[in-house]
Structure 1
Amino acid sequence: MRMKFDPSNPIIQLCMKGMALEESGNLDGAIEVFLKAWDQSRDDYERFIVAYHLGLRQKNADNKLKWMEKSLAFALKINDENVKSAYPTLYLNIAKYYEAMSDTENARKNVELSYSHQGKPTDAGPFYHGAKADLQVGDLLTAGNKSNYEKDLKMNHIYFTANINGAGLAAALAKGEGNERVYIVEPIGEFENDPNVTDKKFPGNLTRSYRSQKPLRVLGEVTDWEKLTDSQRQEWDERLAKNKGEIIN
């Protein structure tokens, strides 16, 4: 089973709003928004995500632990292969809060649980790659291209995703004047979670974003994905212009 991460989900949007408020220095406002998201959460998937964010933003270790353990409990109930990518982070945070409370035994147990759930991605796809290049079935996509987000940076990996709309976004943001294209691709070597998104905004790799130093083989093309509106495109352009974060290459 693979649950779909949907950026248009109202709860996900509230979480994004909360993170933006925190980044602007309004932590109290952020917590208020996260609590609103909690009250409006409708299922275990949404509760797992919101409880995680509330856990990170509590003011003492006891409350942090309570919310993080709630997040883990909902994640375990879901039994979803994608959500499992968050297990190491959840257990490690729980260990950290136990350590802050001088409970070294439970801290050790949760560190061990975190390590036990680490490993290579098990996602079987299908996988997609967004670009503005005109490609044919059988073509190989390789690392070494310039970054779409940082000028003059040569990328050491080729990036792809199991989220078709995520690939569509990558196509929209890609450099060049060609048409936005989303290709079905097959990694022909080992791949890893994209560290630029994993455990950044959300726990684990809920967006199913990956990268590889080995090539991707083009298997076909899709034309049906959620295109950016003009206002969304402008928002992304503004966000990228302000982005000062370092790309993990």
Structure 2
Amino acid sequence: MSYYRFIDKGKGPTKLFVGGIHGHEGETTIDFLKSISYSDFSKGKTFIYNFDYTEYISTIKKEYYETKIGKTIINLIKKHNPDFYIELHCYNIKNYENLISPNRRESQGVPPLIDLENHVLISSVSPLIRKKYFKMETICKTLEIPCINKKLYWNDLSSITEGNITKNDIAKYNVNKDIAKNDISKCNVNEDDNVNNYNLNKSFNTYLKIIKILSKVKTRDEFQRIMIKKYPKQVELAVKYAKEIFGEKFPPF
């Protein structure tokens, strides 16, 4: 399941997408990374990595960057010196409220994640690496989606025809055929499809939409304009949290 992809479209920004950061998350993130087509990328160079299972240690803990996978991530950042650095994560839907809770600052030392919509969460990357390895103008984002149980199988694609994910997308890019559309209730991280009013298909669409925005934009200004138009309230929160953690002049994205 370990995966690497390099897209060279000439002169332009350098982008680094990383999935499978810890635990079993790579089982969910790999299909999204595979589903980005060549035309979805901007000019420049894009490097994509998705890793196999590793012990779960939070990236907001120093211990993570002392592990083999943590050191690998740091080495990739140093090697590519990206203008865009995107971490793809997934989470247990039962932890949703904790992840977006204002109390997360007090309990974890970091701001809560921001719900864009449909349980897709966004934040900066770990404060442990944001200032140390990146320039202020670098776009550094963490994207989270509820994890998917890859042991299930999608039995019926007939109604998946709206939004960003279509039957043609699935057939062409092999996007998440292992998800059971008609058996979501058995998902190991979504035992009840009414947990937190979670809708897997809507979440799926939103997550891929944001990934494609990040793969397509060429500059910070372009990304911010799109996000302000689509998610004005969420951007306000991002500005607030960036000031709290990084200081007044630090950008929200």
More strand by share: 2
Kindly name which structure, 1 or 2, has the bigger radius of gyration based on alpha carbons.
1
Higher relative contact order (CA closer than 8 Å, sequence separation 6+):
2
Would you say same fold, with TM above 0.5? no
TM-score by length of 1: 0.26
TM-score by length of 2: 0.26
